[in-house]
Structures are given as C-alpha cells and as structure tokens.
Structure 1
Amino acid sequence: MIEPIAYRKKLEGKSNAHLISFNDGKDYVVKYFQPGFEKTLPNEWVSYCLARYLGLPIPFARIVDIPQSFSSQVPELASMDSIPYQFALTYIPDCLDGHQVLNIPKITNSNELASIIVFDYWLYNSDRTRKNILLQEEEENAFRLWAIDHAEVFGTYNWQSKDLEQLPAGLIESATHQIMASFIEDEDQLFEQLDVIQTIPIFLIEEMVSMVPDEWMVTKEEKKTMVHSLLIRRKKVLQDLIQKFVNKVYRPIHDNEHSL
C-alpha cells in the first residue's frame, strides 16, 4: 500500500478532503471519515467501483491507510478519527470546476456524458452540481469533463437502510445534467448506457459492496440493503427515469437548438 509523504492543503467543501502527496509520485484527494457524514466513504468507494467498471470518466481511486504518525504531525489532521483506511482520489492538476468556466464551447469526451447522467440516476446522486465536475482544457476552448464527488449517492452522506428502500423516483434537478445533455448528440446514447448497466452481474455488485472496509462501520445488513437497492432501482425504476429525462430535459434542449 502506498504511503503519504507530504501534506499539501485542506480542500474546500464539506467532505473533509485533503490534498496529500504519496510515495508513488502522485497527489491524492483524501477523504477522511467524520461523524455525521458516516456514509461518505462507503458511498465514494461503491460509486467508484461501479463507475470504473462502466468506463465513466472518473479519476483513478484507491483505499489508503494514513498512519497516525503522519497525521499527528499535521495540524489539520491531528484531530481526525484515527480509523484505518481512507478514500483517495487521484488529483488532476490544471482543472477548473463547472462554476469557473462560464462558457464551454466543446467537450472532447462528449461520448461519455450519457454514462454519467444514467449513473447518477441509478445511484440517485442528487449532488451533480457544477462544483462536482472538473474541466480539463485539452486545447483552446475544448475541455475534457471528469465526474467527481459521489459522497451523496443514495440520497445522502448519512443514510440509514430505510432510506435506501424509498429512494425518489423523480427527475433530479441538475443544471449540470442539462449542460451535459446539450453535448449528447443522440438520445440513444442514454438508452445504450442503460442497457450496459442492466448487464452488470449481480455477484459483481455484491463483491464491490463487500469490499467496503469493516472499519467504515457499514453493517452486513446495510451492505445487503445497498445491493438490493441497486438491483431494484436498475430493474424497476431506471428505464422510466431515463425516459422521463429524455422527454422533459434532453428533447426540449435539443428542440430549442434546432429552432434557433
């Protein structure tokens, strides 16, 4: 397992994220466990595993162990709960978030945007704000889009099992989804991604959830509920949600473009 070598800074936001350099030569955004936000790390890890399998544009992530001997030397970390294992996402330099780019003329990986939208509806990520995308300029006025921050999938960062049994089945209000939809050339891309999600083997979803470290205090029953929620939502809810998104969001955006 890689080891931390230098603390860089605390990052903005409520996710208790810190930029730390490791001995593999990379910087990582490390999220620590914190009371009141108990499901942040499990949410991030399960989302990452599923998103990675589906080929979403997300930075590489891993579970890391920050030794107490390291944390105790950093004022910002000294008071942290010293449970083993944190969630670490590779830091991508020279990026702006969606709030910092007022005009986005071109997305170079527009073929991947449908996968983010369908994924967000599957896991009920209502927190896909402009702050939770990164825009990496690859050429003048052309950006690669990365999806980050899945702390609030399943509706919240401190869900209970009963919450997962009654996740909302309506449209998610997201200006960022609307921006992404405007760059998707064909609505069939959304339904194609839906089909891919339906093919993920159940045992693979179970395995991904089972890999949540015990130290993150997710009970066996809660892990079962996570799996059950994912299976029920993709089987009984997701198709209708994506059709609603196409009817209410995607088509009006593109109809307006064609009328201009």
Structure 2
Amino acid sequence: MIQVTQYVKPLDGWSRPHLMLCDDGNFYVIKLLSNPQGVKVLVNEFICSQLAKQLNLPIPEGKILFISKRVINSHPTLKSVLQEGPHFGSRFIPSGIHQPTCLDLARCTNIEQAADMIVFDYWLDNNDRHVWRPAEQNLIVTGGSEPKIWMIDQANVFNGPAWSIESLIKKMNIFNAYWGTLYQRFVPFIDGPNPFRNSVSKFQSLTKGELFNVVFNIPAEWNVSEQELTILVNYMEHRRKVMYYMIQSVHVHFPIWHVHYLKHGGIG
C-alpha cells in the first residue's frame, strides 16, 4: 500500500480533502476516514476510480493510501483530523481549470468522452455533476497543447454518501433525468443520430463478476458490510442492464438526436 510521506495543505470541498505527497513520488488529493460526509465518500470514490480503469473514463487515478503515526505526529495541529490507516486519494492534477469555458471544452482532445460522463452519472445516480456552479465544477480541464477534460469528485454517486441498503433498493428502479447547464454545454460536441450508443455499449460490456471484484477490494477498515457490498453490485448490475431506457429521457436536449428519435422511435 502506498504510504503518505508529507502533509501539504487543506483543500476546498464538502469532504474537506487534503493535499499530500506519497512515497510513489506523486501528490494526491486525499479524502479522510474522518471527513464530515462519512466514510462512504471513500467507498464511492474508490469504486468510481476502479470502474474508470476498466472503462477508460477520464477520472484521475485513485489509490488507497496509508497515513502512519509518524506523519500524524509530525503535524500536531491535525491530530483531531488525521488518523492512522487507509484513506482514499486521487492523483493531483496541477494547473487544472475549474471553470472551463465552451472554448476550453472545444479544445479538449477527449471531449467526445462527455457522452461517457453523462451515461456514467446516470448509471450510478450521481446527483450533482450536471449543475454549473459559480465557483467550480465537478470537472477540470488541463491546459497545454493537448488539453483534457477530467471528472473529479465522485462522492455523490449512489445519490450521495449517505446511501444505505434500503436507499439502494428503493433507488434501483428510479431513473432521475438530471439535466443542467454543464451537460447542456456538452451537447454541440456529441449530438448526433445516436450520441450515446457507443457509451452504453461500453458500460454494458462490464460483467457482474467485474463489479464484484471492484467492490470487494474495499478495505475492511472502512467497515462496509458484505451485505452492503452485495447490494451495491446488484444495484449497479440492474441499472447497467437498463441503460438504454435510462438515457432516452434526455433526447429532447439534443437537436439532431431528437429528430432522429421521433423518426425512428428510440436509440437502440
């Protein structure tokens, strides 16, 4: 397990993340076991980072990171926040644009993955990325000659980090058609007769066994029960199978797709 070697500074965010340097030489944005939103923030982030590896999603690489007593003792003022054990960290992306303009998005070499982002959020019921915030978004754009769009902050998948067995069962068949200014900005880049066909096919290629492998690698120290993990898999598997149905509700926001949809009766 990668070890934290140096505390750097606190960062903004509801989960009060921190920037730290680790023994692999990389900086990570770390969400702590003691974060105010609860340990399931770490669970949600870990699951999304592992799915990203399999689906080639633009999510920063995520790792389980260990904070030792040595690091804690070297920062006495943080002893009430830091605790020894495994936490979750996302690779820090320096110089990211948190309020990208339409021009910034147009320059991104992976802008076509906006379709993947929308399908991903609908699949896992991520209830806040569609919102365009005055301060920042749940995405960043890197600069340079080949700018890229990155999805950050996956804490609100499963309709938020307060999920339970009961809430997952209840939400399994509820497909909220979140739509907002951020998604609307993606429309010109991905609209077409069937803009989500490839994304849906990619997600539907996952197997239930692969989903089990993801969730059952969650550290025991995060205290997620086997029953909760099983329900998570069943939730993802069920919603994965009905993605075509889930995504059809947003066709009205896509001029080309809308015409095609009315003419041909769907996206399948």
Q: Does the pair score TM above 0.5?
A: yes
Check if 1:205 corresponds to 2:206.
no
Deviations 1:79-117 (A, max 9, x none): 12625211111001111113x647534332112211111
Counterparts of residues 6-45 of structure 1 (less than 5 Å): 6-34=6-34, 36-45=37-46
Matched with 2:196 is 190
1:73-84 equivalences under 5 Å are 73-75=74-76, 77-80=78-81, 82=83, 84=85
Equivalence for 2:128: 127
Partners of 1:7 and 1:81 in 2: CA distance: 10
The answer as to whether partners of 1:137 and 1:144 remain within 8 angstroms in 2 is yes
Unaligned runs of 5+ in 2: 260-268
Counterpart CA distance in 2 for 1:78 and 1:108 is 42
Q: Distance in 1 between matches of 2:217 and 2:15?
A: 21
Which 10-residue stretch deviates more, 18-27 or 105-114? Answer: 105-114
Distance 2:39 2:217 in 1: 16
What is the distance in 2 between the residues matched to 1:95 and 1:253? Answer: 32
Equivalent position amino acid for 2:227 in 1: E
Percentage of pairs with the same residue: 29
Contact 2:20 2:29 in 1 (8 A): yes
With over 3 angstroms needed to count, the CA separation of the structure-2 counterparts of 1:152 and 1:76, relative to structure 1, is: farther
Whether the 8 Å contact between 1:132 and 1:149 is mirrored in structure 2 is yes
1:170 lines up with 2:176 in the alignment: yes
With the length of structure 1 as denominator, give the TM-score of the two structures. Answer: 0.88
Instruction: Give unpaired runs (5+ residues) of structure 1.
Output: 256-260
Residue 239 of structure 1 corresponds to: 244
2:265 aligned residue: none
Q: Distance in 1 between matches of 2:160 and 2:222?
A: 16
By relative contact order (CA 8 Å, sep 6+), the higher-ranking structure is 1
Whether the 8 Å contact between 1:3 and 1:22 is mirrored in structure 2 is: yes
**Residue 2 of structure 1 pairs with residue 2 of structure 2:** yes
Residue 155 (1) aligns with residue 159 (2)? yes
CA contact (8 A) 2:194 2:257 kept: no
Instruction: Look up the match of 1:63.
Output: 64
> In the alignment, is the contact (CA less than 8 A) between 2:155 and 2:161 conserved in 1?
yes
Total equivalences in the alignment: 250
Name the SS for the 1:3 alignment partner. Answer: strand
Aligned pairs (5 A) from 1:93-108: 93-98=94-99, 101=101, 103-104=103-104, 105-108=106-109
CA deviation after TM superposition for structure 1 residue 254, in Å: 9.0
CA distance in 1 between counterparts of 2:258 and 2:194 reads: 14
Structure 1 residues 52 and 76, CA, compared in 2 at 3 Å: closer, same or farther? farther
Distance 1:146 1:214 in 2: 29
Q: Once the two structures are superposed, what CA deviation does each residue of 1:201-252 show, in whole Å capped at 9, x if it has no partner?
A: 111101101111111111111001100100111123x21221112x122338
The amino acid across from 2:118 in the alignment is I
Match of 1:53 in 2: 54
Is 1:118–2:122 an aligned residue pair?
no
Mark the CA change 1:25 to 1:38 in structure 2 (over 3 Å): closer, same or farther.
closer
* Cα pair 1:191 1:242 within 8 Å, conserved: no
